[in-house]
Structure 1
Amino acid sequence: MEKRFKSEIKAFGKRLKSIRIKKGLSQLDLELESGISRTEISRIENGLKNIEFFTLIKLAVALQIDVKDFFSE
């Protein structure tokens, strides 16, 4: 992961976690809905993983939100 984007990746992870919690979902629930492992979800939420666009779409579908909702409050 490029250092210069680290803060943006961390901010995205915090936003994902916030949305997941507001929806009342655990990481396990999100794993079951999205097909993305809990380990990967944890790494994304903690800003340790840069995700692919397809993963972003899978998360949005599982959370029943638009992709753009990850980038606005």
Structure 2
Amino acid sequence: MQDIFDKEAVLKKLGARIKSLRIEKGYSSYEYFAYEHNISRAQFGRYERGEDLRFSTLVKIVAAFDMTFEKFFSEGFESSTEENSAT
């Protein structure tokens, strides 16, 4: 199965993107970001590690970053084919 359709791989990419954006926003601690945006701190840590999350939670996280879904998914979700052709 292609990497882009591998649930575990996609969740890892999603977690990495969430963590990257949190750090970009100036939050060194995921706990403080989660607290400030009314998201369970324990769950938010799991999301950054690539564990499964509900769509409604993803909507809340994207809104907390003050961005559109297009912008959120514009980086970090390239398929293996695209990544290999870029190198």
Q: TM-score range by the shorter chain?
A: 0.7 to 0.9
Q: TM-score, normalised by structure 2?
A: 0.69
* C-alpha RMSD of matched pairs (Å): 1.4
Identity across the alignment (%): 38
- CA distance in 2: counterparts of 1:24 and 1:39, whole angstroms: 20
What TM-score, normalized by structure 1, do the two folds share? 0.80
Runs of 4+, deviation exceeding 3 Å: none
Q: Mark the structure with the bigger radius of gyration.
A: 2
Q: How many residues align?
A: 69
C-alpha separation in 1, matches of 2:60 and 2:21:
14
Greater helix proportion: 1
In structure 2, stretches of 5+ residues that fail to align are 1-5, 76-87
Unaligned runs of 5+ in 1: none
Of residues 40, 52, 55, the one that matches 1:53 is 55
